[in-house]
Structure 1
Amino acid sequence: MPSPTQRALALVPQGLRPTVVKHRKLVKFLLVGGTCFLLTLVINLTLKATVLSAKPVAALTIATVTTTVVSYLLNRKWSFRAYGRQREAVLYFVVSALAIVVNNIPLAFSQYVLDLREPHLSAFGEAMADFLSGMIIGTLLAMVFRYWAMARYVFTDRLDTRPVQPSEPERV
C-alpha cells in the first residue's frame, strides 16, 4: 500500500515530479506555511470580529504568535526533519519573532501611515486594506524571510544533504 506521500506525489504531473522531489524541503515548507496561513486567517478574523475589533495589529500579532508554535512543530518534525534541541528552538522563536515584526509592518503602515481606516474608509474598505496589507503582503514577506532564516540559521546541521533521486517519492 502506497504511503500518503507516494499518493500525493502521484497527483503531481510526471514532468514536475523530479523538481518536486529535488525541492522537497521547500514544498514541505510551503505546505506547512499554507496550513498555518489558513489557521492565522481564522484566528485573526475571529479576534477582529469579537474581542479585538478595534485593534487589528494586536489581533494579527496574537494569531501569528499562535500559529508560530504550530509551524515550529510541523517544520521541525517534517519540513526540515530536525530533532529537538534547545538551541534550535530558541533560534526558531527568535527568527519567528522577527518574522512577526516583518508580518506586521505592512498592516501598521496601512493603518497608521496611510491612515486606511475609519473614518477615512468604510468598515469594508478598512477590512480589505487590513486583509491585503496584513494577511497577504505581510504574510508573503514574512514567509520569504522565515524560509531564508530557517534554512540559514536554525536547521543548518540537520538538513539531509545527500543527493536525491527521483525514484525516492516517499521523501517528499
Structure 2
Amino acid sequence: MRELLKKHRELLRFAVVGGISFVITMSVNYGLKFTVLRTHPVTALIVGVLVATIFSYVANREWSFRTRGGRERAHEAALFFLISGVALGLNALPQWFSRYVLDLQAPRLSPFGVEVADFVSGIIIGTLLGTAFRWWAFKKWVFPDEDARGVVAVADDPDIQDRKAA
C-alpha cells in the first residue's frame, strides 16, 4: 500500500488541494448565491471558482507539484491561470446548460429542485470536468518537468531521498 501511495503522491496531493478548493468554491458560491447574487447563480459559482483557483495555484505549486517545474514563474503562473480559466468554463458549462437550455429553474422547479439541479450540474459534474482537465493540463504544460525544482528546493525531504535511492 505504501508503494502505491508513493507512486501516486502527486495525484493524492492534487486531490487534497482539490478537496480544499472544493470547500472554498462551495462556501463562496453558496455565500454569494444566498445573499448578494441571488439572481445570478452562475456568477456566484464563477466567483467561488476564482477564489479557489488562487488558493489552488499556491498550494499546487508549493505542495502538489513542488518538485516539478520547467518554466519561469511568471510563465508558469500565466499558464496556470489560463488553464484554470478554461477549466472554469468547463466547470460553469453544465450549470449554465442546466439552467438556460434545460430550463431547470423557477417557476418550473421548486426552490429545492433548483438547488439540487444546480448542485448536480455545477458542483458535481462541473467540478469533475474541471478537475480532470486541470490534472492533465497542469502536468502537461504548467509543471512539465519532473524534479526540476526537487534537489535544490527540497534536498532534505525524505520523499526525494527515497526517489534518489531507488
**TM-score range normalised by the length of the shorter chain:** 0.7 to 0.9
RMSD: 1.8
Match of 1:45 in 2: 30
Gaps of 5+ in 1: 1-15, 163-168
**Partner deviation per Cα, 1:46-103 (whole Å, 9 max, x = no partner):** 0011001111100000000111000000000000014661100000000000000000
Match of 1:141 in 2: 129
Structure 1 residue corresponding to 2:118, chosen from 123, 130, 147: 130
Distance 1:171 1:44 in 2: 36
User: Do the aligned residues in 2 keep the contact of 1:44 with 1:63 (CA within 8 Å)?
Assistant: yes
Relative contact order, CA 8 A, sep 6+: which one is greater? 1
The amino acid that maps onto 2:115 is A
User: Do the aligned residues in 2 keep the contact of 1:72 with 1:92 (CA within 8 Å)?
Assistant: yes
Match of 1:64 in 2: 49
Aligned length: 150
What is the TM-score normalised by the length of structure 1?
A: 0.83
Structure 2 residue corresponding to 1:27, chosen from 4, 8, 12: 12
Match of 1:121 in 2: 109
What is the TM-score normalised by the length of structure 2?
A: 0.86
Displacement over 4 Å in runs of 4+: none
Distance 1:121 1:31 in 2: 34
Match of 2:99 in 1: 111
* 2:131 aligned with 1:154: no
Gaps of 5+ in 2: 151-156, 161-166
